[in-house]
Amino acid sequence: MKRVSSSLKSKCPTFACSPKRARRLKRAPCSFAPRRGQAWGNLPQHVVLQIFQHLSLVDRARASSVCRCWNDVFHTPDLWRRFEFELNQPASSYLRSTHPDLVQQIIKKHAQHLQYVSFKVDSCTESAEAACDILSQLVDCTIKTLGLISTARPSFMDVSQAHFVSALTVVFVNSKSLSSIKIDDTPVDDPSLKVLVANNSDTLKLLKMSSCPHVSPAGILCVADQCHGLKELALNYHLLSDELLLALSTEKHVNLEHLRIDVVSENPSQSPFHTIKKSSWEALVHHSPKVNVVMYFFLYEEEFEPFFREETPVTHLYFGRTVSKEMLGRIGLNCLRLVELVVCANGLEPLDEELIRIAERCKSLTAIGLGECEVTCSGFVEFVKMCGERLTQLSIMEEVLIPDSSYNMEQIHSEVSKYLGRIWFPDMMPTW
């Protein structure tokens, strides 16, 4: 059997043996040596199952053609709990697709075994439509985890909303035990969320729906109100409201573990973002003291006004576009729970002051990444000194650091390494 994983190799006796040993075994049969032509097909099924679990799908499928027993094992429900449908068109992707015959077989024989299902589609509408078709056929199943993932452009958004929603609700209605759903970048809407809630409110633990433009704050509020086991939620800022945070913090609700918020602007002249009251944030943290609040910003500089004016319990912050010096100053002031800060770009003025304030006040900070920014070498060393060894991730582009009278580029790496307690270099980009 080829391609047994390396960890398996070390634990189980290998079937391949050296020529010398093989000769010995032939001459002196013992109970471990398989007799020619006899034992392979008679291996106990649970042994074959264990082996199959270590094989790739292709190898398993090949093995299933060997004999009836192995074919039976191939179709054991346990091997079909988890499946990832990959739907790609050659015109729009370099990746292969799950074979349509296999898809048919699964729907026919294994739909009821499926528990953890995901669909990976490329940027072609056809692929997303194929995913919807499969979804519509998963009638007799008890799916626990469902993921709809676009690997390139979000092609689910190109599918007709009616088609998508009806396919999705088939699963929502039939599974009745959904615990984890990932439907980012899809045309899901408020009515479908109502259906989800009506059938799965007891079991739902994770819901990721960033960039679902057809959902309204009321729609998501319905989920928070009814699904008290919800531990992880990902959505866009326009769906976030004071009511939502309060609903997630009621007594009946479990502790929220992870709240992911994407803040994206359509164009620079859109109406300003609403603010969330400090009291709503406080309620959230009071109810779920360990909650991680992850915020990803993709805004124009002037759109940041409403944010971080007051204490905000954000733990992981990513700025995908330029963020101003002033904003970084506010973060040092008001984001005391900060664990990770990643800044794509800032500007041409050194951020020394802002960084030092962050080091002072954000005592939980363990990761920082800076792209197109400027920091003087002395300021940077000061920052690292203050943070010390708690900084496990320090990713600074080389261009960020400005040599000054105290340090040049050669010295910076040894100074910083000293305070971090490990060898450190800035991130480099090829220059040629």
Partner 1 sequence: MVVNTIHWFRKGLRLHDNGALRDSIRRSDSLRCIYILDPWFAGSSNVGINRWRFLLQCLEDLDASLRKLNSRLFVIRGQPTDVFPRLFKEWKINRLSYEYDSEPFGKERDAAIQKLASEAGVELMVRISHTLYNLDKIIELNGGQPPLTYKRFQALINHMEPVELPVETITAELMKTCVAPISDDHDDKYGVPSLEELGFETEGLTTAVWPGGETEALMRLERHLERKAWVANFERPRMNANSLLASPTGLSPYLRFGCLSCRLFYFKLTDLYKKVKKNSAPPLSLYGQLLWREFFYTTATNNPCFDKMDSNPVCVQIPWDRNAEALAKWAEGRTGFPWIDAIMTQLRQEGWIHHLARHAVACFLTRGDLWISWEEGMKVFEELLLDADWSVNAGSWMWLSCSSFFQQFFHCYCPVGFGRRTDPNGDYIRRYLPILRAYPAKYIYDPWNAPEEVQKAAKCVIGLHYPKPMVNHGEASRINIERMKQIYQQLSCYRGLGLLASVPANLNNGTNRQLQAGSGEDASAHEGPSRTERLHSTQKRRHEDSLNEGSSKCWRQSK
Contact 333, 357 (CB under 8 A): yes
Report which secondary-structure segment, H or E, holds 125: helix 125-137
Q: Which of 36, 266, 271, 405 binds partner 1 (CB under 8 A)?
A: 266
Residues 332-361 that bind partner 1 (CB under 8 A): 339-340, 342, 344-345, 347-348
C-alpha 163 chain-centroid distance: 26
> Which among 287, 302, 393, 292 has a CA at the least distance from the CA of 335?
292
Which residues, other chains included, contact 121 with Cβ-Cβ below 8 Å and sequence gap of 6+? 87, 88, 127, 128, 130, 131, 148, 149, 150, 151, 155, 156
Report which secondary-structure segment, H or E, holds 287: helix 278-287
Q: What is the contact mask toward partner 1 in residues 268 to 307, using x (rule: CB under 8 A)? A: x-----------------------x-x-x-xx--------
CA separation for the pair 244, 223 (Å, rounded): 9
Select 16 or 345, whichever has its Cβ closest to partner 1: 345
Q: Nearest approach, Cβ of 243 to partner 1 (angstroms)?
A: 25
Residues 198-257 that bind partner 1 (CB under 8 A): 210-211
Residues paired with 357 in a beta bridge: none
Q: Which of 27, 96, 251, 252 binds partner 1 (CB under 8 A)?
A: 96
Select 222 or 303, whichever has its Cβ closest to partner 1: 303
Q: Using the rule CB under 8 A, is 92 a contact of partner 1?
A: yes
Residues 317, 428, 314: CA angle, nearest 5 degrees = 5
Q: Using the rule CB under 8 A, is 151 a contact of partner 1?
A: yes
Name the one range near partner 1 by CB under 8 A: 37-45, 87-95, 164-172, 188-196.
87-95
Select 199 or 210, whichever has its Cβ closest to partner 1: 210
Q: Which of 51, 80, 98, 134 binds partner 1 (CB under 8 A)?
A: 98
Q: Using the rule CB under 8 A, is 409 a contact of partner 1?
A: yes
In the Cβ-directed half-sphere of 312, how many Cα atoms lie within 13 Å?
Answer: 24
Amino acid at 295: M
Q: Using the rule CB under 8 A, is 125 a contact of partner 1?
A: no
Q: Using the rule CB under 8 A, is 91 a contact of partner 1?
A: yes
Q: Is the Cα dihedral 160, 163, 167, 172 positive or negative?
A: positive
Q: Nearest approach, Cβ of 269 to partner 1 (angstroms)?
A: 8
Q: Using the rule CB under 8 A, is 94 a contact of partner 1?
A: yes
Select 177 or 211, whichever has its Cβ closest to partner 1: 211
Q: Which of 372, 385, 386, 406 binds partner 1 (CB under 8 A)?
A: 372
Q: Nearest approach, Cβ of 369 to partner 1 (angstroms)?
A: 5
CA separation for the pair 405, 409 (Å, rounded): 11
Select 125 or 151, whichever has its Cβ closest to partner 1: 151
Q: Nearest approach, Cβ of 428 to partner 1 (angstroms)?
A: 6
CA separation for the pair 214, 243 (Å, rounded): 19
Backbone angles phi and psi of 312, in degrees to 5 = -125, 130
Q: Nearest approach, Cβ of 36 to partner 1 (angstroms)?
A: 25
